[in-house]
Structure 1
């Protein structure tokens, strides 16, 4: 084994996704005093999904700030701070709450660089917890990746593992444009919401970045391409292992970012496998599944034999556990979609 490989093993530890995110944020805050974090319950509580656990002890209330329950006010303040040269990270406790601050997000955060003719930048990160699977009903369980990806001016990041979460967070904080960083609650590794196998991964102690627009092939295969993101990367991987017992070799592509979108990796995979399944926890209509299918059709229609889309039906997410389980795609749904392409 090469010395460099041995050194890399020494400095890697297994972290949950929440710890990897916090580690990246803390490193950036140590390096740049203009980086600070603000949101609801992010100081004393440490974030309800452990998104800021431990930051207050090191950086104090001046740089880890609890805010009143007014997303309009504190997101507007974050935009102003960013334009003044700071690098705020502002957290929406639940992505569903973006509606009350849509003007601050879409008309200010996303557009002010353009509207000013490039005279100001908005180097801020908007973080938010996304996703269901824990019975919190229709106003606390959406993903809404596609909504942000549809609106120009924002980069959109969706990590699925601790390794990706840290590298993408470093990149997000250093970016001079606004970044929407969406973490799935089920992947964070908090005690009251157990994570599936997979998101807890080895993570280097040193800082590193993962470039935006760089999808990751989480599992190589030859029969079908499964494109997904967030929680459903892990459900797709579980489905792929089950399908292998039936002789179907599935390749799983984790998009990691929606804006910019790495269509090249997806298209290359489809040209190899000939079949495409797109899996998403967002709504089916006007969303990620349709965009991926259209992108592949634009560039590799002749290579495409079959297409299936697996997504949330266009209904509010139910509160009742059996009903929520019914609408959110599961491993069996992915397996059925893959089998339909064979």
Structure 2
């Protein structure tokens, strides 16, 4: 209950538009550490409507419920919309049998979802904050990820999708700001996805829900309202395990996911203007299984690579990328692979702006790389 109340307070703070633009110096600096770069839908995508990230997720969930009568959504407070409003109005449309609250017990939420999926349902579980997914770690890693393997493919829980907000929000501190994707990337049997904006989030979430493997869908909470795009109205899916080259360049490859993609997008422009350097920007999107081919081909072209993520440096997923590139691109490298990440400390509160891998830290990494 206390955790739920704290979540509602945090949501109320985010909903206040004045806080997003001003408030205290620390919060303002944190929320302005990146400039959101919207995607544009193709003409072939048909009609679009203006949505922020949480509305795009809500739209994807509604489509999943309409198209699949076996789909159900459950978690703490989802019946009224959840603390970030991602499930708002869904219970009114689809009833209490398909959208319902659970006790405050992450282990129970995921365990229940595994059972539902094993019985043939499409289970969409919400963990209120990624920081509180750890009580469910055993269920996710030792049960969901191994279900198909240990039964020799006789049974599976591939219909399970776990949604959860992640990352820095400006004032979340140590229990509401963590990026925990690398904990689960170590575990075979899971798919892990992190979108950068509304268009991508809708398509990737529908792909996760319909994929026949358990998926964890991390939603950067700072983007819920700051990220706004013209999102296609239709039902569409985007491929999992496919990275996207957002900016083409020749000198340095920049690799990120989620919120960090927007930081790196601005860094590409800064590097061009201040360092006369052409950067190639890749959004990994799927953390596991990740698109090695796209990243490797880019680094073979540029000869340099920088990975940036909000999670701590040690054993962050950037380490896996760096190790792979060292092996596959060794003869093409002109400089060591660099990582720009959070520090190996608990996520701080008042020092959050200094903890984050902002554009200045990333630009300095580019400077080091090209001058090596």
Matched residue of 1:245: which SS? helix
- Structure 1 unmatched runs, 5+: 190-194
Q: What residue number does 2:36 align with?
A: none
Q: What residue number does 2:305 align with?
A: 276
Q: What residue number does 2:113 align with?
A: 78
Q: What residue number does 1:214 align with?
A: 242
CA contact (8 A) 1:220 1:251 kept: yes
Q: 2:270 aligns with which of 242, 246, 251?
A: 242
> CA separation in 2, counterparts of 1:249 and 1:239?
11
Q: Counterparts of 1:3-42 in structure 2 under 5 Å? A: 8=45, 10-42=46-78
CA positional deviation for 1:50: 2.3
CA positional deviation for 1:218: 1.4
> CA separation in 1, counterparts of 2:128 and 2:319?
28
Q: Deviations over 1:128-169 (max 9, x none)?
A: 110114222212211111111111111000111111111111
Q: What residue number does 1:68 align with?
A: 103
Q: Deviations over 1:293-337 (max 9, x none)?
A: 1111121111111221101111100122xx111111111111111
Q: 1:179 to 1:96 in 2, by over 3 A?
A: same
Q: What residue number does 1:154 align with?
A: 190
> CA separation in 2, counterparts of 1:32 and 1:303?
48
Matched residue of 2:174: which SS? coil
> CA separation in 2, counterparts of 1:245 and 1:113?
51
CA contact (8 A) 1:133 1:324 kept: no
* Root mean square deviation of aligned Cα: 1.4
Q: What residue number does 1:293 align with?
A: 322
Matched residue of 1:43: which SS? helix
Q: What residue number does 2:339 align with?
A: 309
Q: 2:152 aligns with which of 95, 98, 117?
A: 117
Aligned residues: 326
CA positional deviation for 1:57: 2.3
CA contact (8 A) 1:56 1:64 kept: yes
Q: 1:14 to 1:304 in 2, by over 3 A?
A: farther
Q: Deviations over 1:99-139 (max 9, x none)?
A: 21222111111111112121111110011110114222212
> CA separation in 2, counterparts of 1:160 and 1:6?
21
- 1:318 paired with 2:348, answer yes
Matched residue of 2:175: which SS? coil
CA contact (8 A) 2:75 2:109 kept: yes
Matched residue of 1:24: which SS? helix
Structure-2-length-normalised TM-score: 0.85
Q: 1:157 to 1:293 in 2, by over 3 A?
A: same
Matched residue of 2:79: which SS? coil
> CA separation in 2, counterparts of 1:315 and 1:334?
19
Q: 2:162 aligns with which of 110, 119, 126?
A: 126
Q: Deviations over 1:179-218 (max 9, x none)?
A: 00001001111xxxxx2xxx42332211121111100111
Greater shift, 229-238 or 129-138, is seen at 129-138
> CA separation in 2, counterparts of 1:326 and 1:251?
26
Q: Flag as ranges the 4+ runs of structure 1 deviating above 4 A.
A: none
